[in-house]
């Protein structure tokens, strides 16, 4: 991993944009013709650059159709990145994935979620602090809620024992795509900021 100081500084001074949130082409991270049988998985785990990067890297050829960064969980319509950064919109930086449930399970995605960030630090990941960096699972069905609570229980008992998990489990409300320059950010900017809390921990398989 590159030195923390330059990356952290680059995050502090990364550009804001007023671009509108429109559908993006494949070069910007969009995927065409996602089948009706696809399911969604929406999670928040801190700075969305690293979250997207790790999920794409680990599941890009295993049934993941698409992964988009954006905002969810707040009460502001069409929020900008600048507004979300204030912590006053209620939104979290998040990742919304579309996946093939015949090749990739929702519970596998959630287990990876609990491996790739620290769910025990409330409203914080690494040096990134604020409600916009909270840990959360936004479910899309009663079945997903049940699975999220079960995976969370197992992760607490088997992986994070002694450190209470603070992850919120909430129904998925309105999703807002982040600005275009945030999509696939670390693919376009390999030296860009990566939260030091974002790495895959060597945990045993949940049972």
Q: Which residues are catalytic?
A: 47
How close are the terminal C-alpha atoms of the chain, in Å? 31
- Identify the three-state secondary structure at position 85: helix
Q: Rounded distance, CA 151 to CA 111, Å?
A: 7
Q: Rounded distance, CA 1 to CA 200, Å?
A: 13
Measured in degrees and rounded to the nearest 5, phi and psi for residue 151 equal -65, -40
- Strand pairing partners for 139? 171
Structure tokens at 165: 């998990």
- Identify the three-state secondary structure at position 7: helix
Measured in degrees and rounded to the nearest 5, phi and psi for residue 182 equal -85, -25
- Strand pairing partners for 177? 70
For residue 140, the tally of other CB atoms under 10 A from its CB is 15
- Cβ(54)–Cβ(116) under 8 Å? yes
- Cβ(148)–Cβ(137) under 8 Å? yes
């Amino acid at each position: 991993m590159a030195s923390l100081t330059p990356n952290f500084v680059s995050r502090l001074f990364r550009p804001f944009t007023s671009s509108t949130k429109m559908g993006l082409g494949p070069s910007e991270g969009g995927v065409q013709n996602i089948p009706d049988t696809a399911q969604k998985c929406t999670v928040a785990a801190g700075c969305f650059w690293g979250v997207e990067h790790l999920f794409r890297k680990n599941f890009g050829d295993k049934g993941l159709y698409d992964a988009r960064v954006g905002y969810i969980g707040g009460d502001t319509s069409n929020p900008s990145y600048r507004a979300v950064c204030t912590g006053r919109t209620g939104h979290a930086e998040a990742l919304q994935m579309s996946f093939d449930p015949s090749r990739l399970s929702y519970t596998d995605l959630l287990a990876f979620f609990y491996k790739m960030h620290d769910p025990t630090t409330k409203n914080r990941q690494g040096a990134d602090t604020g409600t916009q960096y909270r840990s959360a699972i936004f479910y899309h069905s009663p079945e997903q809620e049940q699975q999220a609570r079960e995976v969370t229980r197992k992760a607490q008992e088997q992986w994070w024992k002694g450190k209470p998990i603070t992850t919120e489990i909430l129904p998925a409300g309105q999703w807002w795509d982040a600005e275009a320059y945030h999509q696939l950010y670390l693919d376009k900017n390999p030296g860009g900021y990566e939260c030091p809390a974002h790495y895959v921990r060597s945990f045993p398989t949940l049972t």
